[in-house]
Structure 1
Amino acid sequence: MKMKSVTQVLIATGFLALTACSASADNSISQLKQKLAKQLPGREITSINTTPMKGIYEVVIAKRQIVYTDAKGEYILAGDMIDLAKKSSLTEQRTAELQKTDFSKLPLEQAFKEVRGDGSRVLAVFSDPDCPYCKRLERESLNGITNVTIYTFLMPLSIHPDAERKSKVIWCAADKQAAWSNFMLKDQMLEGKSDCENPVEKNMKLAETLGISGTPALIFKSGQIVSGAIPKEQIEQLLAAK
């Protein structure tokens, strides 16, 4: 289901004040930002925005993390802001918006691809060969999904000691997709060289810039990033999203 942005929710409910021409409101937020910047040294205050709760402001830190503060910047609240009437998390919706990326700018040369059916839809997946949830994604969630081109970015996690070697063996294989599928779907042992030029380190840095810290992480054409072995039905819905 397509999630509305916090701004859309606020406009729809009448909580968002028209402050574009209000110098006093702009100055108030500017002063609040300056104060928080001093109180949170080393943390980038990306933006501060109004919320439906009177006197409570949304604070975006380092472009991705959301916390809340009072009008004087004396307190910080961490957690979800819930719209009880709609039974939805405004924080979750806003976080998903902040995490969006431009699919067309992904360095697809750092991934290997699998074309299913006509390949008309696109999906990027950051995955670790030793991640059990990645195997669940491959065996269950992606099973049967067609008319899609899947780009797999190998992203071995440090908690899996042999994942980096396996990732490099997969990349060095003559048929990367076949090596990946045989291991993830059939548990076939990986054999071969692992010393070819590979993008594993670049993928780790890319994941960091995208705010991806775990696997699997899926990126859809809409730019939405979703973590975890989500159900097949949800993948289909997100593949259809504009």
Structure 2
Amino acid sequence: MKQFVMAASLLTLLACTGQGEAQSSQNTQKAEAQEAANSADFNRSYLQQMGFAIESVEPSSVAGVYEVITDQGLIYVADNGKKLIGGRIYDITGSEPVNLSEQAIRSMRQRDIAAVAEQAITYRAEDEKYVVTVFTDPTCGYCRQLHNNLDNYLQKGITIRYLAWPRSGLQGSAYQQLKAVWCAADPQAAMTAAKSDQRLQAASCDDPVDEHFALGNKFGVRGTPAMVLPSGELIPGLVDASRLLTMLKQG
């Protein structure tokens, strides 16, 4: 029995040592990959000629594969930018697969939302517990339904922060209405008026509608309303206040 315990202890020690060496090797590889990603030698030309605007390049969790944030979202490349990889990366070592790509995408959304927070039209809950960012279009029926029930969200401690996403693109009535809303002296009142079919006075300013629309496309927005939770998760469609609160509590 004593020999068995000693043998088991030795195996544990060897396992810890091996794991430490493996971890050290992984850290070295990651550092080298990070250096390559940040280097001027990293070839961005192939992605750029495909129309991608590159925002950042980081080593992914897979050796030789890079995680690239672009104006069109997250993509993966290998072979020094010469190979574009479709799909998502999952860690399957645990009891359930973990979507590592979704984690990266959520982090991207959180950073980008923080950068435009001051541009949003915000309806703040008195007892604020959560802030949900909503891409909206005044011509969208479900967006109007959300807005008509805004008090339900606010009473539950959910602040609603609107960004613009005209469904018809950068043209048409919704686009013009959103520009007028953001340029109005009272954007909150103008948003309510636009969603009630009231005529808005034309206004011109350095509005952020184009920027918001591009951001929504980058996030994967395909329709309105589209909700971005504090976690960075994107929820397409209308979610009522009670169900949304449950989702927020679950994290």
Give me the TM-score of the superposition, normalised by structure 2: 0.60
CA gap 1:112/1:94 in 2 versus in 1, 3 angstroms: closer
* CA distance in structure 1 between the partners assigned to 2:181 and 2:132 by the alignment: 20
* 1:1-242 alignment, distance < 5 Å: 17-18=23-24, 22=28, 26-27=31-32, 30=35, 34=41, 36-37=43-44, 39-42=46-49, 43=52, 44=54, 46-51=56-61, 55=63, 57-62=65-70, 64-69=73-78, 75-84=83-92, 85-101=95-111, 105-108=115-118, 110-119=119-128, 121-135=130-144, 137-138=146-147, 144-145=152-153, 146=155, 147-159=157-169, 161-168=172-179, 170=181, 176-178=187-189, 180-181=191-192, 184=195, 188-195=196-203, 197-198=204-205, 201-208=207-214, 211-212=218-219, 214=221, 215-220=224-229, 222=230, 224=232, 226-229=234-237, 231-232=239-240, 235-236=244-245, 239=248
Question: How many positions carry a matched residue from both structures?
Answer: 216
Identity fraction in percent: 20
Question: Can you give the 5+ residue segments of structure 1 that lack an aligned partner in the other structure?
Answer: 1-13
Question: Can you give the 5+ residue segments of structure 2 that lack an aligned partner in the other structure?
Answer: 1-18
Deviation of residue 79 (structure 1)?
0.8
Larger Rg: 2
Do the aligned partners of 2:30 and 2:59 also contact (CA within 8 Å) in 1?
no
**Higher helix proportion, which one?**
2
Q: Which secondary structure state, in structure 2, belongs to the residue aligned with residue 101 of structure 1?
A: helix
Do the aligned partners of 2:75 and 2:84 also contact (CA within 8 Å) in 1?
no
Match of 1:9 in 2: none
Match of 1:5 in 2: none
Q: Deviations over 1:7-32 (max 9, x none)?
A: xxxxxxx8x8445863x664466557
CA gap 1:170/1:73 in 2 versus in 1, 3 angstroms: closer
* CA distance in structure 2 between the partners assigned to 1:102 and 1:224 by the alignment: 10
* CA distance in structure 2 between the partners assigned to 1:180 and 1:94 by the alignment: 32
* CA distance in structure 1 between the partners assigned to 2:30 and 2:114 by the alignment: 37
